[in-house]
């Protein structure tokens, strides 16, 4: 069933990325690549969620730069801003306003069960803000504001999407049908990319050292160096064996960039050493990122161009958010 508010009858997809650092291969292979695939089939809204990023401290100037960089990278990866909507969350005030309305409806017991909050607050005990606790409510507002049908979610965001659904249903049953209850869309391909130095933990913007993460804008030599130094093990066979997290993670990268079958890859490297494999993987990653990097350069050659695209994106979608917000306020008797 198409979204009743989409002219072409396509279902609507919403997803976001935090500008909390430099975008990396995990973001690309686990999320953005799938966004590109979805864009041909759905009415897609992709949001750079700067309000989510500030739930932990961000240097203000860096945050502004990284927000634009993330938007440009999404477009460079293949999202056409004419066909999909790309915008910065804080450019549409309705996100913050709906968050407040939903805050007043979200039971604190539900919030206390959120595992991401437990993990993140454990890591930064001294500095846990109310905003970090309220992160799932802001995410619910993002999704519900656009009559979203589908939300692509990885393992780590499943609980937040379930929370969004519960909150939408709670609102609808208390105040009357207002929000579309979104469904999760589990990507058919995509993977959890692990760190290069510490393959036991996911590759991340904010965790692990420089050598742990391949950033989308890393120059070729940096990529080669990082892959060369990636942690493996003392064994020799190049096999997709999950019990060997280092080599397994590198093989996943090779698989995702080449699209080759696992048996073909294993056969290709039979009898070869880790050094040969890493050298070939590095070239595959360098070549795989080349088109994205050159498109990024073009898009950012004129520094005002991305801002123009982003303000057009926000202008196009703002009326949807305002209409849904007005309906929610009216239902609650606010205003």
Looking only at residues 285 through 304 of this chain, which bind ligand AQP when binding is defined by CB under 6 A? Answer: none
Query: Contacts by 88-93 with C-beta closer than 8 Å and gap 24+?
Result: 88/47, 88/48, 88/50, 88/310, 88/314, 89/16, 89/47, 89/48, 89/49, 89/50, 89/51, 89/52, 89/142, 90/50, 90/51, 91/310, 91/311, 91/314, 92/145, 92/314, 92/317, 92/318, 92/321
Looking only at residues 26 through 85 of this chain, which bind ligand AQP when binding is defined by CB under 6 A? Answer: 26-27, 30-31
Span of 24-32, 74-82, 250-258, 306-314 interacting with ligand AQP by CB under 6 A: 24-32
Looking only at residues 166 through 205 of this chain, which bind ligand AQP when binding is defined by CB under 6 A? Answer: 192-193, 202-205
Instruction: Note if 120 is an active site residue.
Output: yes
Q: Are 293 and 216 in contact (CB under 8 A)?
A: yes
Instruction: Note if 329 is an active site residue.
Output: no
Span of 13-21, 76-84, 290-298, 310-318 interacting with ligand AQP by CB under 6 A: 13-21
Give the residue with the Cβ less far from ligand AQP, 139 or 167. 139
**CA dist 272 → 73, 227, 276 (Å):** 35, 17, 6
Q: Which of 120, 222, 225, 228 is catalytic?
A: 120
Instruction: Note if 202 is an active site residue.
Output: yes
Interface map 240-279 toward ligand AQP (x if CB under 6 A): ----------------------------------------
Looking only at residues 107 through 166 of this chain, which bind ligand AQP when binding is defined by CB under 6 A? Answer: 154, 156-157
Burial 207-243 (b: 16+ CB within 10 A, else e): ebeebbbbbbbbeeeebbebbeebbbeeeeebeeeee
CB of 120 to ligand AQP, least distance (A): 8
Name the residues annotated as catalytic.
120, 202, 205
Interacting residues with ligand AQP (CB under 6 A): 17-18, 20-21, 26-27, 30-31, 154, 156-157, 192-193, 202-207
């Amino acid at each position: 069933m198409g979204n009743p508010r989409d002219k072409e009858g396509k279902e609507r997809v919403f997803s976001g990325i935090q500008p909390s650092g430099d975008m990396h291969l995990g973001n690309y292979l686990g999320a953005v690549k799938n966004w590109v695939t979805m864009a041909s089939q759905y009415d897609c809204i992709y949001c750079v969620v700067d309000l989510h990023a500030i739930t932990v401290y961000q240097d203000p100037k860096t945050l502004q730069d990284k927000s634009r960089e993330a938007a440009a990278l999404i477009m460079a990866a293949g999202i056409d801003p004419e066909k999909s909507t790309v915008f910065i969350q804080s450019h549409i005030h309705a996100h913050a306003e709906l968050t407040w309305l939903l805050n007043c409806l979200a039971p604190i017991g539900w919030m206390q069960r959120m595992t991401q909050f437990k993990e993140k607050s454990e890591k930064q005990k001294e500095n846990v803000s109310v905003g970090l606790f309220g992160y799932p409510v802001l995410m619910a507002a993002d999704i519900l504001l656009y009559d979203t049908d589908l939300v692509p979610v990885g393992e780590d965001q499943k609980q937040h999407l379930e929370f969004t659904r519960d909150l939408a249903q709670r609102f609808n049953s208390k105040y009357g049908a207002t929000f579309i209850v979104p469904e999760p869309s589990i990507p058919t391909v995509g993977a959890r990319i692990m760190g290069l130095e510490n393959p036991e933990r996911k590759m991340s913007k904010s965790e692990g050292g420089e050598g742990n993460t391949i950033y989308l804008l890393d120059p070729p030599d940096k990529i080669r160096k990082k892959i060369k130094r990636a942690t493996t093990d003392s064994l020799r066979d190049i096999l997709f064996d999950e019990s060997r997290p280092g080599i397994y993670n590198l093989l996943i990268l090779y698989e995702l960039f080449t699209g080759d079958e696992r048996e073909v890859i294993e056969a290709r490297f039979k009898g070869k050493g880790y050094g040969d494999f890493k050298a070939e993987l590095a070239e595959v990653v360098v070549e795989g990122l080349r088109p994205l990097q050159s498109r990024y350069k073009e898009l950012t050659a004129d520094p005002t161009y991305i801002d123009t695209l982003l303000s057009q994106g926000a202008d196009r979608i703002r009326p949807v958010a305002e209409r849904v917000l007005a309906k929610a306020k009216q239902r609650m008797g606010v205003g």
